[in-house]
A and B are shown apart, each in its own frame.
Chain A
Amino acid sequence: MESHNLNFKELWSNQKVEQPALEEILLKIDNYKKKNIRKIIILNIFLAFLTIVILSIWYYFQPQLLTTKIGIVLIILAMFIFVISYNKNLSLLKKTNETESNQAYLKNLHKIKEKQIFLQTKILSIYFILLSLGLALYLYEFISRMSITGIILTYGITGVWILINWIYFRPRIIKKQQAQLNSIIRKLEGIQEQLKEN
């Protein structure tokens, strides 16, 4: 057994690899920093742009009815929730602490994955509900000035579009995200099983 032991260690350390120049890794680190900053900037620009668009609608069209205003607020809320939850997802991932033991790290990762499932499915549904409701309320003021056929047509088309999203796209997105996360969770559990003291 001992001779094998020695053998293994010798073989192991004979796997040669050229160490990349320090500059190469420093460049990677630099790119990584830039990428992170870019992400934050893009997100902030997007949120600012969104707010400006919605506020200018409010300002230029001067809605009379309360329903329109509530509608606008709901739509903004839906979009903010979506963007913020997407960010929360990112920040959740940052909460992993790589300097813990494997045991603790996997436990933490497991918890995070379960939180992600919650975030992704619940938030997506909340987003759809708020957006549909907001849109329906928002349209009400403009539609109320239309003829009956106009009302039926506008609400009809909007309604069908929302239904397609709710019945067709939403479950598909959720299913796809969940399948991915569940497969990761299963693998995590498999590895955690290996860590049980015997």
Chain B
Amino acid sequence: MVFEEVYKTYWEKIFRLCMGYTNDYDLSRDLAQDTFILVWQQLPNFRNESNIGTWIFRIATNNCLRQIEKQNRFPKGELPLNLQEEKEKSIEPKIQLLYKFIAELEEIDRIIISLELENINQKEIAGIVGLSESNIRVKIHRIKKKLTENFLEYGIT
């Protein structure tokens, strides 16, 4: 697969994944860009034996996890500013809430639910995260329950 093709097909998916992980519009754009730089670097090593989607999502999720190294460098005080901007960029409050609730989950749960909502099948999610399929299934169920509860607290059903 050529880079341009991969980029066109996966950019939005990867952006949404990063958005679920951080709930920060600008940061997600940067993370998505970093992901594609990595994809570009690794593409010659990609062997067709695995699914290209799984392969790219692994790179993207690992890149998100890598954030733990960088957060030290960004003072948390900058966050409200970004959130303010996001409100202007995203129209629908329910969408905002969904991303906010997801970004508040534990790191691995954020990844799992983002992949699930991106319509990745559970077997693939298991392969990306490195957990068993049954475990993924249980986790998805729990996360969805938690998200529903969060929405209920806001009076949204």
Contacts and interface: CB of A to CB of B under 8 A. Distances in A.
Nearest to A100: B58
A105 B128 CA distance: 10
B63 A98 contact: yes
B128 A102 contact: yes
B111 to A, nearest CB: 7
Nearest to B138: A198
B68 A180 contact: no
A19 interface: yes
B108 A8 contact: no
B119 A9 contact: yes
B129 A103 contact: yes
Interface in B29-74: 29, 33, 36-38, 40, 42, 45-46, 55, 58-59, 61-63, 65-66, 68-69, 72
A103 to B, nearest CB: 3
A128 to B, nearest CB: 26
B87 to A, nearest CB: 13
A57 B37 CA distance: 45
A102 B135 CA distance: 15
A11 B131 CA distance: 26
B72 A180 contact: yes
A12 B18 CA distance: 12
Contacts of B66: 109
A101 B127 contact: yes
Interface stretch (A46-54, A72-80, A189-197): A189-197
A26 to B, nearest CB: 8
Nearest to B114: A12
Interface in A17-33: 17, 19-20, 22, 25, 28-29, 32
Interface residues of A, number: 39
Contacts of A17: 12, 15-16, 19, 25, 29
Nearest to B102: A12
A99 B42 contact: yes
Contact of B65 (A15, A106, A197): A106
Contact of A13 (B16, B40, B94): B16
Contacts of B15: 17, 19
A25 B33 CA distance: 7
A9 B120 CA distance: 11
Contacts of A198: 135, 138
B19 A8 contact: no
A4 interface: yes
A183 interface: yes
A179 B58 CA distance: 29
A8 B8 CA distance: 24
Given A15-B16, A25-B33, A102-B128, 19 more contacts: A8-B117, A9-B117, A9-B119, A13-B117, A15-B90, A15-B95, A20-B29, A32-B37, A96-B62, A98-B38, A98-B42, A99-B58, A103-B130, A105-B65, A106-B65, A184-B68, A184-B69, A195-B131, A198-B138
